[in-house]
Chains A and B, each alone.
Chain A
Amino acid sequence: GNSVTQMEGPVTLSEEAFLTINCTYTATGYPSLFWYVQYPGEGLQLLLKATKADDKGSNKGFEATYRKETTSFHLEKGSVQVSDSAVYFCALYGGATNKLIFGTGTLLAVQP
């Protein structure tokens, strides 16, 4: 079945450091891929998405490229801020079942 694997956290970085959070997936066909972010005490916010191979999603300085050949959708940001501290979830859209399948989430802590 479809699944998503994310790198284990927590990830602790200093402000202005480069961020990579790895995400790989297993799926049949060409699922849409998403990154959601959950700030402390809040629900999920859509951060970015990609719907086909080689698409690059981007938002608020974050980027992720849909790589079909490596079944990956890694999240990157060139310079993180303290305000980026949150839990990041990689997800894929489960097609006909219309459900999102999430990775386990990666906690990012950015220190000043």
Chain B
Amino acid sequence: EAGVTQSPTHLIKTRGQQATLRCSPISGHTSVYWYQQALGLGLQFLLWYDEGEERNRGNFPPRFSGRQFPNYSSELNVNALELEDSALYLCASSLVGTQKNIQYFGAGTRLSVL
């Protein structure tokens, strides 16, 4: 069974540009989560999508946004990129129901903003 897949593996952008990161959850999982792992800041929760709706949002500015598609895959968009957005962005997915709280992670997209 395929795990959580993310693309691209690496992404290089310049300040002010937009970045789009993609995530495909484990088959059967309907919840997708995004986390940012920035140097020195640890792992921070960004967004949670379930059944196509944004359910919860971390303490990030509105230029971080995303969506979940009918097939449960997800996109994270970062507008007006700033140097401090350079980080590893991790996507996770989980089942609903009693196993809802086990999140399985992808390998991440490393975003570098120059």
- Say yes or no: B58 contacts A99, CB within 8 Å: yes
Task: Say whether A45 faces chain B, with CB atoms less than 8 Å apart.
Answer: yes
Q: List residues of chain A with CB within 8 A of the CB of B48.
A: 97-99
Candidates A42, A43, A99, A103; contact of B33 at CB < 8 Å: A99
- Say yes or no: B31 contacts A42, CB within 8 Å: no
Task: Say whether A104 faces chain B, with CB atoms less than 8 Å apart.
Answer: yes
- Say yes or no: A93 contacts B105, CB within 8 Å: no
- Say yes or no: B105 contacts A101, CB within 8 Å: no
Range for the number of chain B residues in contact with chain A: 20 to 34
Q: List residues of chain A with CB within 8 A of the CB of B101.
A: 32, 51, 93, 98
Q: Mark contacts of B22-63 with chain A using CB atoms, 8 A cut-off: 1 yes-contact digit, 0 otherwise.
A: 000000000101010000001101001010000110100000
Bound-state Cα–Cα, A100 to B108, Å: 16
Interface residues of A in 71-103 (CB under 8 A from B): 89, 93, 97-103
Interface centre among A32, A43, A102 (most CB of B within 10 A): A43
- Say yes or no: B102 contacts A99, CB within 8 Å: no
Candidates A43, A97, A103; contact of B108 at CB < 8 Å: A43
Q: Give min CB distance, A96 to chain B, whole Å.
A: 9
Q: Give min CB distance, A4 to chain B, whole Å.
A: 10
Q: Is the interface of B mostly helix, strand, loop or mixed?
A: strand
Q: Give min CB distance, B91 to chain A, whole Å.
A: 8
Interface residues of A in 34-61 (CB under 8 A from B): 36, 42-46, 49, 51
- Say yes or no: B56 contacts A43, CB within 8 Å: no
Give A residues with C-beta under 8 Å from B.
32, 36, 42-46, 49, 51, 89, 93, 97-105
Known contacts A42-B107, A46-B104; can you find 16 more A-B pairs with CB under 8 A? A43-B90, A43-B107, A44-B92, A46-B102, A46-B105, A89-B43, A93-B101, A98-B48, A98-B55, A98-B56, A99-B56, A99-B58, A100-B43, A100-B92, A102-B43, A105-B43
